[in-house]
Amino acid sequence: MGHSFSRTRLLVRSFFIQGSWNYRNLLGTGFAWALRPENGSVSGPEGGPSGRRDTEADEVARAAEPFNTHPYLSPVALGALARMREDGVDPARIRAFRQALRSPLGGLGDGLVWGGWRPACLLGAGCVALLGGGPGVVLATFLVTYNAVHLALRIHGLRVGSDSGLNVAAGISKMGLPAWTERIRAVGVLLLGLALGLLLGRGVGVSELGPAWVAGAIVLFLAGLSGGDLVRRWGPELLFLLILAGTRIPPS
pLDDT in tens, 165-187: 888 888 889 899 999 998 898 88
Whether 198 and 243 have beta carbons less than 8 Å apart is answered as no
Distance CA 235, CA 233 (A): 6
pLDDT band at 36 (very low <50, low <70, confident <90, very high): confident
In the 8-state DSSP scheme, what is residue 159? H
pLDDT band at 96 (very low <50, low <70, confident <90, very high): confident
Distance CA 119, CA 111 (A): 11
Whether 87 and 165 have beta carbons less than 8 Å apart is answered as yes
The pLDDT value recorded for residue 202 is 59
- Cα of 154 vs its chain's centroid, Å: 9
Distance CA 137, CA 152 (A): 22
- Quick: pLDDT tens for 71-90: 999 999 999 988 988 888 88
Q: Once rounded to an integer, what is the mean pLDDT over residues 21-26?
A: 86
- Quick: pLDDT tens for 207-218: 554 565 556 556
Within the chain, residue ranges assigned H as helices are 7-14, 28-35, 56-63, 74-86, 91-109, 118-130, 135-164, 168-175, 177-201, 210-226, 229-245
What is the pTM for the complete model shown?
A: 0.71
Pick the residue with more confidence: 16 or 239?
A: 16
Which residues make beta-bridge pairs with 22?
Answer: 26
- Quick: pLDDT tens for 101-132: 888 888 899 999 998 999 999 989 988 988 88
Of 165, 238, 177, 243, residue with least CA distance to 204:
243
Distance CA 100, CA 105 (A): 10
Name 221's Cβ contacts closer than 8 Å, sequence gap at least 6. 235, 239
Single-letter code of the amino acid located at 179 = A
The pLDDT value recorded for residue 41 is 47
Whether 17 and 30 have beta carbons less than 8 Å apart is answered as yes
User: For all residues of the chain together, what is the average pLDDT?
Assistant: 77
- Quick: pLDDT tens for 187-206: 887 887 777 767 665 555 55
Residue 222, helix vs strand vs coil: helix
Q: Once rounded to an integer, what is the mean pLDDT over residues 230-234?
A: 55
Whether 127 and 141 have beta carbons less than 8 Å apart is answered as no
Burial class (CB in 10 A: 0-12, 13-18, 19+), 27: buried
Name 132's Cβ contacts closer than 8 Å, sequence gap at least 6. none
Q: Once rounded to an integer, what is the mean pLDDT over residues 10-36?
A: 88
pLDDT band at 99 (very low <50, low <70, confident <90, very high): confident
Q: Once rounded to an integer, what is the mean pLDDT over residues 1-20?
A: 80
